[in-house]
A and B are shown apart, each in its own frame.
Chain A
Amino acid sequence: MALPKALRSSLTPQEIEFIAENQQITIVPTRAINDKFELLSGEFGPFRPPLKSKVPLWLALLLKRKGKCTIVPPVWLDAEYLEAKLEEERASAGFTEMPFMWLETANLLVKDAQDDIPHYEQVRNYIKGIKECRGNKAVAGLKFITIDLFSQGFLNLDNLGLMEVNEIKPFFAKAFDEMGKFSGALATDKQ
Protein backbone atom coordinates (compact mmCIF):
# COMPACT_ATOMS: atom_id res chain seq x y z
CA MET A 1 0.00 0.00 0.00
CA ALA A 2 1.10 3.50 -0.73
CA LEU A 3 -0.11 4.99 2.55
CA PRO A 4 2.59 5.87 5.05
CA LYS A 5 2.92 3.36 7.87
CA ALA A 6 1.54 5.71 10.50
CA LEU A 7 -1.73 6.04 8.61
CA ARG A 8 -2.15 2.34 7.96
CA SER A 9 -2.29 1.07 11.51
CA SER A 10 -4.46 3.69 13.16
CA LEU A 11 -6.19 7.02 12.82
CA THR A 12 -4.19 10.21 13.16
CA PRO A 13 -5.00 12.60 16.01
CA GLN A 14 -6.40 15.04 13.46
CA GLU A 15 -8.82 12.45 12.13
CA ILE A 16 -10.02 11.74 15.65
CA GLU A 17 -10.44 15.42 16.27
CA PHE A 18 -12.59 15.52 13.17
CA ILE A 19 -14.77 12.72 14.51
CA ALA A 20 -15.05 14.45 17.86
CA GLU A 21 -16.21 17.63 16.17
CA ASN A 22 -19.44 15.88 15.21
CA GLN A 23 -20.66 15.65 18.78
CA GLN A 24 -23.60 17.79 19.76
CA ILE A 25 -23.03 20.65 22.12
CA THR A 26 -25.26 23.35 23.58
CA ILE A 27 -24.69 26.94 22.62
CA VAL A 28 -26.24 30.24 23.60
CA PRO A 29 -26.31 32.55 20.58
CA THR A 30 -25.33 36.12 21.26
CA ARG A 31 -26.66 37.45 18.00
CA ALA A 32 -29.79 36.57 16.19
CA ILE A 33 -29.31 34.59 12.99
CA ASN A 34 -32.60 34.33 11.21
CA ASP A 35 -31.50 32.02 8.42
CA LYS A 36 -31.40 28.28 8.80
CA PHE A 37 -28.21 26.35 8.19
CA GLU A 38 -29.21 23.54 5.89
CA LEU A 39 -26.45 20.98 6.24
CA LEU A 40 -26.01 17.33 5.40
CA SER A 41 -26.14 16.42 9.07
CA GLY A 42 -29.38 18.30 9.57
CA GLU A 43 -30.85 21.77 9.86
CA PHE A 44 -29.65 24.18 12.49
CA GLY A 45 -31.05 27.47 13.45
CA PRO A 46 -32.53 29.97 13.32
CA PHE A 47 -30.72 31.21 16.42
CA ARG A 48 -32.50 33.61 18.69
CA PRO A 49 -30.75 34.74 21.85
CA PRO A 50 -31.06 33.82 24.64
CA LEU A 51 -32.62 30.51 23.56
CA LYS A 52 -30.19 27.64 23.81
CA SER A 53 -29.76 25.29 20.90
CA LYS A 54 -27.85 22.11 20.14
CA VAL A 55 -25.38 22.10 17.27
CA PRO A 56 -22.36 20.01 16.26
CA LEU A 57 -19.16 21.00 17.99
CA TRP A 58 -17.51 22.23 14.80
CA LEU A 59 -20.36 24.62 14.09
CA ALA A 60 -20.30 25.82 17.68
CA LEU A 61 -16.59 26.54 17.43
CA LEU A 62 -17.05 28.29 14.11
CA LEU A 63 -19.75 30.56 15.54
CA LYS A 64 -17.67 31.07 18.65
CA ARG A 65 -14.68 32.27 16.66
CA LYS A 66 -16.90 34.76 14.90
CA GLY A 67 -18.23 35.94 18.25
CA LYS A 68 -21.79 34.88 17.53
CA CYS A 69 -22.35 32.54 20.45
CA THR A 70 -21.09 31.32 23.78
CA ILE A 71 -20.61 27.62 24.33
CA VAL A 72 -22.06 25.82 27.33
CA PRO A 73 -19.24 23.46 28.33
CA PRO A 74 -20.23 19.84 29.04
CA VAL A 75 -20.89 19.05 32.71
CA TRP A 76 -17.66 17.13 33.10
CA LEU A 77 -15.54 20.04 31.91
CA ASP A 78 -15.65 21.63 35.30
CA ALA A 79 -12.82 22.30 37.73
CA GLU A 80 -14.42 20.63 40.74
CA TYR A 81 -15.56 17.58 38.83
CA LEU A 82 -12.15 17.15 37.20
CA GLU A 83 -10.35 17.57 40.50
CA ALA A 84 -12.39 14.73 41.96
CA LYS A 85 -11.69 12.66 38.83
CA LEU A 86 -7.97 13.29 39.10
CA GLU A 87 -7.95 12.10 42.68
CA GLU A 88 -9.99 9.05 41.78
CA GLU A 89 -7.64 8.36 38.89
CA ARG A 90 -4.60 8.52 41.16
CA ALA A 91 -6.20 6.31 43.79
CA SER A 92 -7.47 3.50 41.58
CA ALA A 93 -5.44 0.98 39.64
CA GLY A 94 -7.78 0.90 36.65
CA PHE A 95 -8.97 3.74 34.48
CA THR A 96 -11.82 5.85 35.80
CA GLU A 97 -14.88 6.45 33.70
CA MET A 98 -14.62 9.40 31.35
CA PRO A 99 -16.60 10.35 28.26
CA PHE A 100 -15.32 8.40 25.27
CA MET A 101 -13.89 11.47 23.55
CA TRP A 102 -13.03 13.56 26.59
CA LEU A 103 -9.49 14.40 25.62
CA GLU A 104 -10.35 15.57 22.11
CA THR A 105 -13.37 17.57 23.22
CA ALA A 106 -11.51 19.18 26.08
CA ASN A 107 -8.62 20.07 23.84
CA LEU A 108 -10.87 21.71 21.26
CA LEU A 109 -12.82 23.69 23.83
CA VAL A 110 -9.77 24.75 25.78
CA LYS A 111 -8.18 25.97 22.58
CA ASP A 112 -11.05 27.99 21.14
CA ALA A 113 -13.57 28.63 23.89
CA GLN A 114 -11.41 29.63 26.83
CA ASP A 115 -13.67 32.39 28.09
CA ASP A 116 -16.67 30.05 28.27
CA ILE A 117 -14.98 27.64 30.66
CA PRO A 118 -15.10 28.76 34.28
CA HIS A 119 -11.73 28.43 36.05
CA TYR A 120 -10.09 27.84 32.73
CA GLU A 121 -6.50 27.58 34.04
CA GLN A 122 -7.44 24.99 36.64
CA VAL A 123 -9.46 22.96 34.17
CA ARG A 124 -6.52 22.89 31.80
CA ASN A 125 -4.17 21.70 34.51
CA TYR A 126 -6.54 18.97 35.68
CA ILE A 127 -7.02 17.76 32.12
CA LYS A 128 -3.27 17.60 31.71
CA GLY A 129 -2.89 15.80 35.02
CA ILE A 130 -5.53 13.20 34.22
CA LYS A 131 -4.05 12.63 30.79
CA GLU A 132 -0.57 12.05 32.20
CA CYS A 133 -1.84 9.80 34.95
CA ARG A 134 -3.76 7.64 32.48
CA GLY A 135 -0.86 7.62 30.06
CA ASN A 136 1.42 6.22 32.76
CA LYS A 137 -1.13 3.56 33.58
CA ALA A 138 -1.39 2.53 29.95
CA VAL A 139 2.37 2.13 29.74
CA ALA A 140 2.41 0.18 32.98
CA GLY A 141 -0.36 -2.05 31.60
CA LEU A 142 2.12 -3.28 29.07
CA LYS A 143 3.67 -5.62 31.58
CA PHE A 144 0.48 -7.65 31.27
CA ILE A 145 1.32 -8.51 27.69
CA THR A 146 2.81 -11.83 28.60
CA ILE A 147 2.59 -15.24 27.13
CA ASP A 148 -0.22 -16.15 29.54
CA LEU A 149 -2.36 -13.51 27.91
CA PHE A 150 -2.85 -15.79 24.96
CA SER A 151 -4.66 -18.37 27.00
CA GLN A 152 -6.81 -15.58 28.40
CA GLY A 153 -7.26 -13.98 25.00
CA PHE A 154 -7.68 -10.31 25.80
CA LEU A 155 -6.23 -7.36 27.67
CA ASN A 156 -8.65 -5.34 29.73
CA LEU A 157 -8.40 -1.62 29.02
CA ASP A 158 -11.82 -0.40 30.14
CA ASN A 159 -12.78 3.26 30.01
CA LEU A 160 -9.92 4.33 27.82
CA GLY A 161 -10.87 7.18 25.49
CA LEU A 162 -10.64 7.07 21.71
CA MET A 163 -7.56 9.25 21.54
CA GLU A 164 -5.78 7.29 24.24
CA VAL A 165 -6.54 3.95 22.66
CA ASN A 166 -5.42 5.27 19.35
CA GLU A 167 -2.06 6.34 20.70
CA ILE A 168 -1.09 2.94 22.05
CA LYS A 169 -2.88 0.83 19.47
CA PRO A 170 -0.12 0.45 16.86
CA PHE A 171 2.44 -0.45 19.52
CA PHE A 172 0.19 -2.94 21.30
CA ALA A 173 -0.95 -4.53 18.06
CA LYS A 174 2.60 -5.14 16.89
CA ALA A 175 3.68 -6.37 20.31
CA PHE A 176 0.71 -8.77 20.38
CA ASP A 177 1.59 -10.01 16.93
CA GLU A 178 5.14 -10.84 17.93
CA MET A 179 3.99 -12.39 21.17
CA GLY A 180 1.66 -14.64 19.20
CA LYS A 181 4.64 -16.15 17.44
CA PHE A 182 6.04 -17.17 20.82
CA SER A 183 2.86 -18.90 21.80
CA GLY A 184 3.29 -21.09 18.72
CA ALA A 185 6.86 -21.79 19.73
CA LEU A 186 5.81 -22.66 23.26
CA ALA A 187 3.45 -25.29 21.95
CA THR A 188 6.47 -27.16 20.61
CA ASP A 189 8.28 -26.64 23.92
CA LYS A 190 5.72 -28.73 25.69
CA GLN A 191 5.79 -31.66 23.31
Chain B
Amino acid sequence: MTDKFWDIDDVLAEQQKIPCFVSLDIPGYGFLDGNSSENLAKNTRVEMPFWLVYPMTVADSVEIEIPACFSKRVTDDLSTSAKSVNLNGLCPCFFYFGIKFVNLIEGIALGKVLAEAFSERLAEIMRYSQSGRSYSKFISFLDDTEKQIFQIGRESAHLMQMWSNGLCNNDKIQAARVLKKTNVKM
Protein backbone atom coordinates (compact mmCIF):
# COMPACT_ATOMS: atom_id res chain seq x y z
CA MET B 1 0.00 0.00 0.00
CA THR B 2 2.77 2.41 0.83
CA ASP B 3 5.02 1.64 -2.11
CA LYS B 4 4.46 5.15 -3.44
CA PHE B 5 5.19 7.08 -0.31
CA TRP B 6 6.43 10.20 -2.07
CA ASP B 7 3.88 10.20 -4.88
CA ILE B 8 1.66 13.25 -4.50
CA ASP B 9 -1.14 11.67 -6.54
CA ASP B 10 -1.07 8.73 -4.21
CA VAL B 11 -1.32 11.00 -1.18
CA LEU B 12 -4.27 12.85 -2.71
CA ALA B 13 -6.04 9.62 -3.55
CA GLU B 14 -5.62 8.29 -0.04
CA GLN B 15 -7.03 11.54 1.32
CA GLN B 16 -10.47 10.79 -0.18
CA LYS B 17 -13.15 10.22 2.38
CA ILE B 18 -15.13 7.03 2.67
CA PRO B 19 -18.31 6.89 4.72
CA CYS B 20 -18.39 3.97 7.12
CA PHE B 21 -20.10 2.61 10.20
CA VAL B 22 -18.05 1.95 13.29
CA SER B 23 -18.67 -1.54 14.55
CA LEU B 24 -17.73 -0.92 18.17
CA ASP B 25 -17.78 1.88 20.69
CA ILE B 26 -14.59 3.91 20.55
CA PRO B 27 -13.98 5.84 23.76
CA GLY B 28 -12.80 9.41 23.35
CA TYR B 29 -13.37 9.66 19.62
CA GLY B 30 -16.73 11.46 19.64
CA PHE B 31 -15.16 14.42 17.85
CA LEU B 32 -15.07 12.42 14.62
CA ASP B 33 -18.85 12.57 14.53
CA GLY B 34 -18.81 16.28 15.28
CA ASN B 35 -20.53 15.99 18.65
CA SER B 36 -19.01 16.82 21.93
CA SER B 37 -19.85 13.56 23.68
CA GLU B 38 -16.90 11.56 24.76
CA ASN B 39 -17.45 8.29 22.98
CA LEU B 40 -18.04 7.34 19.38
CA ALA B 41 -21.02 5.04 19.65
CA LYS B 42 -21.30 1.78 17.77
CA ASN B 43 -22.98 2.05 14.34
CA THR B 44 -22.38 5.77 13.98
CA ARG B 45 -21.83 6.87 10.40
CA VAL B 46 -18.58 8.80 10.03
CA GLU B 47 -16.53 9.83 7.04
CA MET B 48 -12.90 8.88 7.28
CA PRO B 49 -10.03 9.22 4.81
CA PHE B 50 -8.92 6.13 2.94
CA TRP B 51 -5.58 5.82 4.75
CA LEU B 52 -7.42 5.53 8.07
CA VAL B 53 -10.16 3.26 6.82
CA TYR B 54 -7.70 0.76 5.40
CA PRO B 55 -6.11 -0.41 8.68
CA MET B 56 -9.49 -0.26 10.37
CA THR B 57 -11.07 -2.61 7.86
CA VAL B 58 -8.21 -4.99 8.33
CA ALA B 59 -8.94 -4.89 12.05
CA ASP B 60 -12.67 -5.32 11.32
CA SER B 61 -13.62 -2.23 13.27
CA VAL B 62 -15.56 -0.46 10.51
CA GLU B 63 -18.10 -1.35 7.87
CA ILE B 64 -17.66 0.49 4.62
CA GLU B 65 -20.36 2.21 2.66
CA ILE B 66 -19.79 2.82 -1.06
CA PRO B 67 -18.68 6.47 -1.49
CA ALA B 68 -20.93 8.73 -3.56
CA CYS B 69 -18.50 8.81 -6.48
CA PHE B 70 -18.81 5.01 -6.96
CA SER B 71 -22.53 4.81 -6.24
CA LYS B 72 -24.88 2.71 -8.34
CA ARG B 73 -26.03 5.80 -10.22
CA VAL B 74 -22.48 6.66 -11.25
CA THR B 75 -21.53 3.15 -12.29
CA ASP B 76 -24.75 2.92 -14.32
CA ASP B 77 -23.87 6.19 -16.03
CA LEU B 78 -20.38 4.90 -16.72
CA SER B 79 -21.54 1.69 -18.30
CA THR B 80 -24.10 3.43 -20.51
CA SER B 81 -22.07 6.39 -21.69
CA ALA B 82 -18.65 6.70 -20.10
CA LYS B 83 -17.65 9.60 -22.31
CA SER B 84 -20.20 12.05 -20.96
CA VAL B 85 -19.63 11.60 -17.24
CA ASN B 86 -17.94 14.49 -15.49
CA LEU B 87 -15.38 12.59 -13.45
CA ASN B 88 -13.55 15.69 -12.33
CA GLY B 89 -16.71 16.85 -10.63
CA LEU B 90 -17.21 13.51 -8.90
CA CYS B 91 -13.68 13.15 -7.63
CA PRO B 92 -10.55 14.72 -9.14
CA CYS B 93 -8.57 11.51 -8.68
CA PHE B 94 -11.41 9.21 -9.66
CA PHE B 95 -9.49 6.35 -11.26
CA TYR B 96 -6.57 6.38 -8.84
CA PHE B 97 -8.90 6.34 -5.87
CA GLY B 98 -11.11 3.82 -7.64
CA ILE B 99 -8.29 1.30 -7.99
CA LYS B 100 -7.41 1.71 -4.34
CA PHE B 101 -11.02 1.35 -3.32
CA VAL B 102 -11.53 -1.78 -5.39
CA ASN B 103 -8.56 -3.31 -3.63
CA LEU B 104 -10.10 -2.44 -0.28
CA ILE B 105 -13.34 -4.35 -0.60
CA GLU B 106 -14.26 -7.54 -2.32
CA GLY B 107 -17.36 -8.71 -4.06
CA ILE B 108 -18.37 -5.67 -6.06
CA ALA B 109 -17.91 -5.52 -9.80
CA LEU B 110 -16.52 -1.99 -9.67
CA GLY B 111 -13.10 -2.79 -11.15
CA LYS B 112 -14.53 -4.02 -14.41
CA VAL B 113 -16.81 -1.02 -14.78
CA LEU B 114 -13.92 1.35 -14.15
CA ALA B 115 -11.59 -0.43 -16.57
CA GLU B 116 -14.19 -0.40 -19.32
CA ALA B 117 -15.02 3.24 -18.75
CA PHE B 118 -11.34 4.10 -18.79
CA SER B 119 -10.67 2.43 -22.11
CA GLU B 120 -13.80 3.95 -23.64
CA ARG B 121 -12.73 7.41 -22.57
CA LEU B 122 -9.16 6.87 -23.79
CA ALA B 123 -10.24 6.88 -27.41
CA GLU B 124 -11.96 10.21 -26.92
CA ILE B 125 -8.91 11.66 -25.16
CA MET B 126 -6.68 10.54 -28.01
CA ARG B 127 -9.00 12.08 -30.57
CA TYR B 128 -9.04 15.41 -28.79
CA SER B 129 -5.32 15.47 -28.13
CA GLN B 130 -4.48 14.84 -31.79
CA SER B 131 -6.92 17.26 -33.34
CA GLY B 132 -6.89 21.00 -33.08
CA ARG B 133 -10.41 21.14 -31.67
CA SER B 134 -11.09 23.39 -28.72
CA TYR B 135 -10.64 21.25 -25.66
CA SER B 136 -11.10 23.46 -22.64
CA LYS B 137 -14.60 22.14 -21.96
CA PHE B 138 -13.62 18.56 -22.70
CA ILE B 139 -10.74 18.42 -20.23
CA SER B 140 -12.87 19.86 -17.45
CA PHE B 141 -14.60 16.44 -17.48
CA LEU B 142 -11.37 14.48 -17.13
CA ASP B 143 -9.91 13.21 -13.90
CA ASP B 144 -6.24 13.81 -13.02
CA THR B 145 -4.88 10.63 -14.56
CA GLU B 146 -6.70 11.33 -17.79
CA LYS B 147 -5.48 14.91 -17.83
CA GLN B 148 -1.90 13.67 -17.62
CA ILE B 149 -2.49 11.32 -20.54
CA PHE B 150 -4.15 14.09 -22.51
CA GLN B 151 -1.21 16.39 -21.89
CA ILE B 152 1.24 13.75 -23.11
CA GLY B 153 -0.77 13.22 -26.29
CA ARG B 154 -0.93 16.95 -26.86
CA GLU B 155 2.83 17.38 -26.46
CA SER B 156 3.67 14.79 -29.10
CA ALA B 157 0.98 16.00 -31.49
CA HIS B 158 2.37 19.49 -31.12
CA LEU B 159 5.94 18.34 -31.84
CA MET B 160 4.73 16.47 -34.93
CA GLN B 161 2.82 19.51 -36.11
CA MET B 162 5.88 21.71 -35.69
CA TRP B 163 7.99 19.21 -37.57
CA SER B 164 5.70 18.74 -40.53
CA ASN B 165 5.25 22.48 -40.86
CA GLY B 166 9.02 22.83 -40.91
CA LEU B 167 8.96 25.06 -37.87
CA CYS B 168 11.40 23.21 -35.70
CA ASN B 169 14.56 24.99 -36.61
CA ASN B 170 16.44 25.18 -33.39
CA ASP B 171 18.49 28.16 -34.47
CA LYS B 172 15.89 30.60 -33.23
CA ILE B 173 15.27 31.46 -29.62
CA GLN B 174 11.66 30.83 -28.80
CA ALA B 175 9.44 31.60 -25.85
CA ALA B 176 8.90 28.62 -23.58
CA ARG B 177 5.65 26.76 -24.13
CA VAL B 178 4.59 27.54 -20.59
CA LEU B 179 4.65 31.25 -21.29
CA LYS B 180 2.51 30.87 -24.37
CA LYS B 181 -0.09 28.86 -22.55
CA THR B 182 -1.43 31.57 -20.27
CA ASN B 183 -4.85 31.64 -21.91
CA VAL B 184 -5.42 27.89 -21.67
CA LYS B 185 -7.54 26.74 -18.80
CA MET B 186 -6.36 23.53 -17.24
Binding site for B on A (CB under 8 A): 5-6, 9-10, 12-14, 17, 107, 111, 135, 139-140, 142-143, 145-147, 163, 166-171, 174-175, 178-179, 181-186, 188-189, 191
Provide the residues of chain A in CB contact with B111, threshold 8 Å: 182, 185-186, 188-189
Chain B, interface SS category: helix
Provide the residues of chain B in CB contact with A171, threshold 8 Å: 126, 129, 149, 152-153, 156
When A174-B148, A185-B114 are in contact, do A142 and B123 touch as well, CB less than 8 Å?
Answer: yes
B163 and A13 contact, CB distance less than 8 A: yes
A143 and B163 contact, CB distance less than 8 A: no
Provide the residues of chain B in CB contact with A14, threshold 8 Å: 163, 168, 170
* Chain B residue with Cβ nearest A12: B159
Provide the residues of chain B in CB contact with A12, threshold 8 Å: 159, 168
Provide the residues of chain B in CB contact with A175, threshold 8 Å: 122, 149
Chain A, interface SS category: helix
* Chain A residue with Cβ nearest B104: A188
A188 and B153 contact, CB distance less than 8 A: no
> Of A17, A140, A145, which contacts B163 at CB under 8 A?
A17
* Chain A residue with Cβ nearest B129: A171
A185 and B115 contact, CB distance less than 8 A: yes
When A14-B170, A107-B164 are in contact, do A5 and B99 touch as well, CB less than 8 Å?
Answer: no
Nearest-neighbour CB distance to chain B for A187, whole angstroms, equals 9
* Chain A residue with Cβ nearest B105: A188
How far, in angstroms, from A175 to B127 measured CA to CA in the complex? 14
Nearest-neighbour CB distance to chain A for B170, whole angstroms, equals 7
How far, in angstroms, from A169 to B170 measured CA to CA in the complex? 23
B157 within 8 A of A: yes
